[in-house]
Amino acid sequence: MWFPAACLALAACWPAGVATAQGASASSAVELARQADRLKPGQWVWAPQIAPRGPLLVFVDLSRQTATVYRNGVRIGVSTVSSGKAGHATPTGVFTILQKDAKHHSSTYHNAPMPYQQRLTWDGVALHAGGLPGYPESHGCVHLPYAFARELFAVTQYGTTVIVAGDAQHPVTSASGEVLSPTLSASPHPGDFWAPERSPDGPVTIVMSRSDQSMVVLRNGVEIGRSRAVLPNDNDSTHVLTLAVDAAGAPVWLYAAVSGHADEAGQGVDETVRNRVDIPPEFYKKAVSILSPGATLLVTQAPLSSGATGTPLTVLRDDKTSNDD
């Protein structure tokens, strides 16, 4: 059952033309999936009790204008969003939450209110409550329904991983794909490096690019390693996985239910899929040594380097200039 979300006090400061958003609760993963499939602009579903504990991951799908929240690899919330309009496209990539401010106001756009702001870059990209017209209309930020932004703000922490993928201007359809493998036949590349001292602790994310045939390892949003990785390049699907522990205490990569792959949710990676990727042995050993439950793996078609064809995936932001959408 849908219920009003925005409080009346917000109406006095909310931009004109923004419709009152609505949310739904769910009691099970099946019910959440059913609700998520029928969301209209401004609507969301939230069910944190499905997975009450564990590491958090936020996946923003620009193609479908949705944000999905996972805890311990389980989907606990889905919302519609509005991302950057033409000329102000929201960057794709792997980010961590750098700053949180529940009562933030823009320093660039006439002191405009940005409730429950969660900064992703120092040059102005953030998650926050904002207008939801049903299409991309921001200046680069990801707008969320007010009450969903409040719920998300309450469960995230500094360093929480946020993955932004897709293309708001040219939606694509996902297909089946492949993920991290223990096969170790790939040769090192001259540009490979391993420098864990760059960021001694924090959440770990591995990004694998089919376009570049390479991978990077990020810790707390900082690139600490890069290597060649041979991946089949026969589709453009995006996959997100979370490292968990099975009943026997062994580590296992579990699929998160990104758009187009809802049936994969909670499934482990089988050996056939794992054997489709090659990583240099020494780099693989180093990367595995820093992994712990909650680590994230992203497989994407987007390139990691600016020299590749297409728009590069953002994996590290050095600009400390603070601007706002």
Q: 183-239: per-residue pLDDT in tens?
A: 445 556 667 899 999 989 877 888 888 888 889 898 877 789 999 988 877 667 778
- Are 215 and 71 in a shared domain? no
Please check whether residue 314 lies inside any domain of the structure.
Answer: no
Tell me the pLDDT band of 178, cut-offs 50, 70 and 90: very low
Strands (E), the chain: 3-4, 22-25, 43-46, 56-61, 66-71, 74-80, 93-96, 99-105, 113-119, 126-129, 142-144, 161-165, 193-194, 204-209, 214-219, 222-228, 239-245, 251-255, 296-300
Highest-pLDDT range among 116-125, 217-226, 292-301: 116-125
Tell me the pLDDT band of 301, cut-offs 50, 70 and 90: confident
- Are 150 and 49 in a shared domain? yes
Phi/psi at 75 (5° precision): -70, 125
- When mean pLDDT is compared across 49-53, 89-93, 237-241, the lowest value belongs to 237-241
- Are 266 and 119 in a shared domain? no
Please check whether residue 324 lies inside any domain of the structure.
Answer: no
- Are 8 and 140 in a shared domain? yes
Rounded (5°) CA angle 321-322-323: 115
Is 13 labeled as catalytic in the residue annotation? no
- Are 27 and 152 in a shared domain? yes
Q: What is the CA radius of gyration of the chain?
A: 19
For the chain, give the mean pLDDT.
Answer: 76
- Are 123 and 15 in a shared domain? yes
Tell me the pLDDT band of 325, cut-offs 50, 70 and 90: low
Q: What is residue 102's DSSP assignment? A: E
CATH code of the domain in which 93 resides: 2.40.440.10
- Are 262 and 158 in a shared domain? no
Please check whether residue 180 lies inside any domain of the structure.
Answer: no
Inform me whether the pLDDT recorded for 43 exceeds 70.
Answer: yes
Element (H, E) at 271: helix 271-274
CA dihedral for 54, 240, 256, 246, sign (positive or negative): negative
197: containing domain: 193-300
- The two tokens of residue 43 are 């609507």
- Are 154 and 202 in a shared domain? no
Please check whether residue 325 lies inside any domain of the structure.
Answer: no
- The two tokens of residue 221 are 């949003």
- Are 139 and 210 in a shared domain? no
Please check whether residue 171 lies inside any domain of the structure.
Answer: no
Please check whether residue 121 lies inside any domain of the structure.
Answer: yes
Which position among 88, 110, 128, 189 bears the catalytic label? 128
Number of structural domains (the chain) is: 2
Is 141 labeled as catalytic in the residue annotation? yes
**The last residue of a domain, from among 165, 180, 204:** 165
- Are 160 and 219 in a shared domain? no
Please check whether residue 210 lies inside any domain of the structure.
Answer: yes
Burial class of residue 247, CB neighbours in 10 A (0-12, 13-18, 19+): exposed
Q: So what's the pLDDT on residue 107?
A: 72
Which position among 104, 141, 239, 261 bears the catalytic label? 141
- Are 120 and 7 in a shared domain? yes
Q: So what's the pLDDT on residue 63?
A: 86
Per-residue pLDDT, averaged over 119-125, amounts to 88
Please check whether residue 186 lies inside any domain of the structure.
Answer: no
- Are 135 and 263 in a shared domain? no
Distance CA 126, CA 142 (A): 6
The structure tokens 């793996």 sit at 297
